[in-house]
Amino acid sequence: MQWVYLGIATVFEIAFALAANASKGFTRLWPTILTLVIGALGTFFLSLALRTLDIGVGYAIWTGLGSVGIVLLGSLVFKERIDWRKALGIAVVIVGVVGLELSGV
């Protein structure tokens, strides 16, 4: 069940970054409120996952997959360019996440 919680937390992490971008530095009320609520929910689900996962593994996977998701959505939603360096970075993060998941946790 910890992996389900971590997956939910990761989705909230990605949504958090997108909402924070939309808040324009917390100058827009509703995106700001959305950012705070999503951040709290993401942290809640992360805390559930960390009841049984090692904190280093859980947090690294959460932030790593969140980062990859944000870069990919940034390219789709905001038309941000993914060059070979970003693609290499994404690949390295994915390899690291897979390595952590295979670590026997």
The letter for the amino acid at 46 is L
Number of other residues whose CB lies within 10 A of the CB of residue 21:
15
pLDDT at position 11 is 97
41-100 pLDDT, tens digit per residue, is 999 999 999 999 999 889 999 999 999 999 999 999 889 999 999 999 999 999 998 888
Q: Which domain covers residue 19, as residue numbers? A: 2-101
The total of structural domains in the chain comes to: 1
Q: What is the DSSP string of 46-100?
A: HHHHTTTS-HHHHHHHHHHHHHHHHHHHHHHHS-----HHHHHHHHHHHHHHHHH
pLDDT at 105 over 60: no
